[in-house]
A and B are shown apart, each in its own frame.
Chain A
Amino acid sequence: GENVGLHLPTLSVQEGDNSIINCAYSNSASDYFIWYKQESGKGPQFIIDIRSNMDKRQGQRVTVLLNKTVKHLSLQIAATQPGDSAVYFCAEKISGGYNKLIFGAGTRLAVHP
């Protein structure tokens, strides 16, 4: 659903560790999901996407998992690097809802050396 929040949740990890960022969505009719990375002062950058007929998709150092039963999406980043520090948003597209994206509230990832 629509995001509401005054402060973003923060995930702090050590450089080299794996990161897992979670997202819950509310609309059962959503059939396409995307993860975006947003660095300070910049626009969202596409990371990886997944269709609702899949439960896992892998990219370079990133994996997205989709659990439609509990309406949950996660982004796994392997060997997290300082350059991964940013705010991460999941976004969903509803079947038949034109092309508009509905964004989650976001999670701030802080990578410590």
Chain B
Amino acid sequence: KQEVTQIPAALSVPEGENLVLNCSFTDSAIYNLQWFRQDPGKGLTSLLLIQSSQREQTSGRLNASLDKSSGRSTLYIAASQPGDSATYLCAVLDNYGQNFVFGPGTRLSVLP
């Protein structure tokens, strides 16, 4: 059974810092991996999608990498801003394309 973990559970940084969020999964037979952002009490907003054949994806200040063989993905946020404060979740899709499994999330606070 696929399990997804995220480290750290919470992170607080001053504005302007670069930071890395980590996502690990136990079964490397994945179809893709998706990073989401969730603001308090809200739904999820998709940030980046990495297909299993890809190594990384970039969108603006965000860069996500995938090392499928080791079961790890990282989300790199450059020059963090207070508006980046949110919970970041990763989710993997199994090779059958049916089952999305979510990590517990990392709660990020960027202090002005």
Partners in one complex: no
